[in-house]
Structure 1
C-alpha cells in the first residue's frame, strides 16, 4: 500500500499539480492544507506518512513552524520552495527535513524525492527509540560493484547502503565529506550499479579548470566562436550524454556559470559557446568538501542550485570516525604498493597502535601515502614503527592563544605544514600536498604565501 501524503501549499495551481502527480503515481493524498492550523487539523484526523510543506503559507505561522512540530511528531516532511535567503535556509535545515524541492516541480523529481525521504525516515526512526548501546549493527548486503570500497565499520556501511539505494534512482547525488574520504570512488560505484553503467563516466574537477576555459570545457564551443577556437569542441556534458558526469569540487564552480549548470539540471539542455541549445540525457553526481550553506551565505553559490543538487546528500564519514577501517585499509595499501614478487610487509603491534592513535586529517589519501612511504623506507618483512610525519604537527612553533586554543588560521597553517612534511615538501603532482588536501596546486601556493610559511618550508627542507 502506497504511503499517505499531505500537501501543505497555499498556491492553488502548484498544490493541484502536486496532487495530480501523486495521484497518477498511486499515492493516496489527504485534503490540501493552506495554513499551519489547517494542516494540524488534517494531521490529527488522517495521520499522513509524509508532508510536502511550503515555507510561506496563509495565516499565522510558516512551514518552518510546522516543520518543528512534524519533527517532534516523527512525521517525515520535505520542504517546497521557490527561493529563500540564508536565514530561512538555516532555519529550515534546523527542523531536520528529508529534503527540499524547488518550484516548478517535475513529476520525476517529485517521485524520486518521495522515495528518498521515505527511505531515510524509515531508517532513521530506530535512532529515536533505541539507545546507542542497545542498537545492534545492521547487516548490509552490498553489490559486487562496491567490493573495491574497503571498510566494515557501521557508519561506513550505512553510507554504502544509502549509495546502493540511490544508485538505481537516476537522480542527482551530492557527495559530501572531507578531503581524501573517497568521494570519486563512491561516485564511480554509484555509476556502476545504475542503468547507465555501460555508458560514459566523465570526471570533471571544477577546482582545476582554468577560469578562462571552464565554460568551453563544460559546455563546448563551435568553430570560430572566439579567438583560438579553430575547431568545434564537445564539452564534458556532451561527452557524458547517456551516461554520468561527476563534478568534483562543485563549490569551485564560478557563480556566473552556475546559471548554465542549473539549466542542465532543470532542462537537461546545454548551450555551447557560439552554438544553439541542445538536449542531453545524463545523470549528475557532484561532490564538495565545502559547506555549501556557507557558500550560499557568502554569495558564492546559488541557493536554487543548492536545492537542485541536494535531493540526495550522501555524507562520507572521515577516517577518524571509522577507526575500525584503518587497519583493513592499511593492509590493502600494503598489498597494493608491495614490489612485484615481494611479500607485502606486515605491521607490528607498535606500528598498528600508531596508525590507530593518529587522527588522519587527510583521511584515506593520507593513509595511502603514509603506507606507500613506509614500504619504501622498510626493507624487512615487518614494519616495526610506522613513520607518520604528519603527527609532528603538534610540535609546531605556532603558539596557542591565551586560552590554550589555536585560531582557525593557526590550525590551517599547521595542517598545511604537516601535509607538506608528509610528502617531502612536494606541492603539486601525484602524491603532492595539493592532491592530499584535495585543492588546486595554485590555490595551495597562494595559501602558503598568505600564511607566511615559505621561509619555514625552506628551513625545514634544508634541515
Structure 2
C-alpha cells in the first residue's frame, strides 16, 4: 500500500487535479485542506505520511506557518507554489521541506517528487539514527586521527569531523559548501576513505575545468562514432567510479542540460553514454561548490530539483578567518611536512610571525596558508621561520580612521543591527517572524555571523 497524502491547497481545480493524479497512482488521499486550520484538524485526526503544502493559503497564516508543525510530527512535506520569488524561496527553505513543485503541475513531476521525498525522508531517518551513535571523533573505528587528517582545534572543525563520521557510514549524496580553499576535496576524500566503498576508486571531476561541450562525454562516456571526433569508445567518469565514489567539484558550474542527466543518475541509478544505451551504475555522489546555489536557482542557472536531491546531507565549511584556532595547528603541520620533504631542520615560527599569521584574514583560506608555509620553508635558512611574505590588504581610509573620526566600524554596525533585530524578534533566530527572515538571510549565515561577532543572548 502506498503512502497517505494530505493536500493543503486553497484552489479547487488544482487540488482536485492533484487528488486525481495521486489516486490514479495508487496513493490514499486525505480530504483536501483549504486553509491552515483545516490542515491542522486533519493532522490531529488523520495523520498522513506526506503533505503537499501550498505556500500561499487564504487567511492570515500561510503554508510556511504550518510547516514547523508538520516538521515537529516528523512528516515529510513538499511545497506547492506558483511564486518563484527569491525571498519566498529563502523563507520556505528555512523550514526544511523535501522539495518544491511549481504550478502548473505535471503528473510526471508530481509522482517523481513524491518518490524523491519518500526516499529522502528514509535517508534522513537513517542519518538521524547514525548521528545519535557517533558523538565524538573517536567513535568511528578505523578513523585514524580524530580529525581525519585535518589539523586544527576549533569547535567548527570538531563539528565537521562528526559530520564526516556520519556521512562515511551512509550512502546518501553529500553536498559540501564553502569558499575556495577551505578543504572541500579533503573532506570528500575523508568520507570516501572511511566508508564501505574505501577499497574502490574515488574519481575527482572538476566541473569548472571541463568544457561544456565535452562534459557529458567526460561524465557518462561515449560510443565510437557518436559524434565528430569520437574515433574510439570512451568510458566515462561514472563507470570508472563503479562501486566507489565520484566527487563533482564546483558543481555550480555544471550546464543545465547536464544537470538534468545527473538528476537521472541520482533518481534512477543509471547513465546513458553519448550514442549508447542506458546502463545501471552503483556510485556514491559527493558534490561541492563555492557558489550560493540559492542565488543560482533564483537566476535560473541551477535546477531546484537537483539541489534538493543533493541537499540530503550538507556539510558547510567555514572560512579560515572564522577558525582562528586552526591557523597555527595547520601551519605547524605543513611546516613539518615541507621541512622533511626539503630535508631542512626547521622547528617552528617566531612569535612575531605567529602574530602575523593569526592576524591575517586569509582570503585564500587553507590553500593560501599551505602555499605560504611551503614558500617560507624554501626561503628559510635557519631553524626558525622569522619572516613570511603576505600580500598587503589595504584598509579603506574611512575604516582605517574610524576611531579617530568617531565612526563605528562595519563590524560594529553589523553587530548592532543584528542585536536590534534579535531584540525585536524576542531572540527568535529561525522560522517565520525570526531574525533571519527579517534580515532576509539564510539562518545558518546569521548563526555564523552571530558567532563571529560574539553575539549570544547575554548581550540582549
Q: Same fold (TM over 0.5)?
A: yes
Cα offset for 1:75?
6.4
* Distance across 2 between alignment mates of 1:156 and 1:16: 49
* Corresponding residue of 1:457: none
* Distance across 1 between alignment mates of 2:326 and 2:53: 41
Q: Is the 8 A contact 2:173 2:285 kept in 1?
A: yes
- 1:153 aligns to 2:143 (yes or no): no
SS of the residue corresponding to residue 55 of structure 1 reads strand
Structure 1 stretch 103-112 or stretch 219-228: which is displaced more?
Answer: 103-112
* Distance across 2 between alignment mates of 1:185 and 1:395: 32
* Corresponding residue of 1:306: 307
TM-score scaled by length of structure 2: 0.70
* Distance across 2 between alignment mates of 1:193 and 1:16: 44
* Corresponding residue of 2:67: 67
Task: Flag the 1:18–1:388 CA change in 2: closer, same or farther, 3 A.
Answer: farther
* Distance across 1 between alignment mates of 2:166 and 2:286: 15
Cα offset for 1:263?
0.9
TM-score scaled by length of structure 1: 0.69
Q: Is the 8 A contact 2:202 2:241 kept in 1?
A: yes
* Corresponding residue of 2:265: 264
Task: Flag the 1:201–1:298 CA change in 2: closer, same or farther, 3 A.
Answer: same
Cα offset for 1:193?
2.0
Cα offset for 1:213?
1.3
- 1:291 aligns to 2:292 (yes or no): yes
Aligned alpha-carbon RMSD (Å): 3.8
* Corresponding residue of 2:358: 356
Q: Is the 8 A contact 1:180 1:365 kept in 2?
A: yes
SS of the residue corresponding to residue 284 of structure 1 reads strand
Q: Is the 8 A contact 2:124 2:312 kept in 1?
A: yes
Structure 1 stretch 372-381 or stretch 281-290: which is displaced more?
Answer: 372-381
Task: Flag the 1:293–1:164 CA change in 2: closer, same or farther, 3 A.
Answer: same
Gaps of 5+ in 1: 21-30, 124-137, 406-463
* Distance across 1 between alignment mates of 2:212 and 2:43: 51
Equivalent residue runs for 1:223-262 within 5 Å: 223-262=224-263
* Distance across 2 between alignment mates of 1:92 and 1:117: 22
- 1:112 aligns to 2:113 (yes or no): no
Equivalent residue runs for 1:50-449 within 5 Å: 53-56=51-54, 60=58, 62-67=62-67, 78-81=76-79, 85-87=84-86, 88-94=88-94, 96-97=95-96, 100=99, 103-105=113-115, 108-116=119-127, 139-141=136-138, 143=140, 144=143, 146-338=147-339, 339-385=341-387, 387-390=388-391, 392-394=392-394
Task: Flag the 1:360–1:6 CA change in 2: closer, same or farther, 3 A.
Answer: farther
Deviations 1:234-259 (A, max 9, x none): 11111111111100000000112111
Cα offset for 1:55?
2.8
* Distance across 1 between alignment mates of 2:114 and 2:49: 18
Cα offset for 1:139?
4.9
Deviations 1:93-152 (A, max 9, x none): 24x4275487131554331023346778x89xxxxxxxxxxxxxx854354255312222
* Distance across 2 between alignment mates of 1:58 and 1:233: 49
Cα offset for 1:375?
1.1
Cα offset for 1:288?
0.2
Task: Flag the 1:255–1:207 CA change in 2: closer, same or farther, 3 A.
Answer: same
Task: Flag the 1:76–1:86 CA change in 2: closer, same or farther, 3 A.
Answer: farther
Task: Flag the 1:224–1:320 CA change in 2: closer, same or farther, 3 A.
Answer: same
* Distance across 1 between alignment mates of 2:170 and 2:240: 22
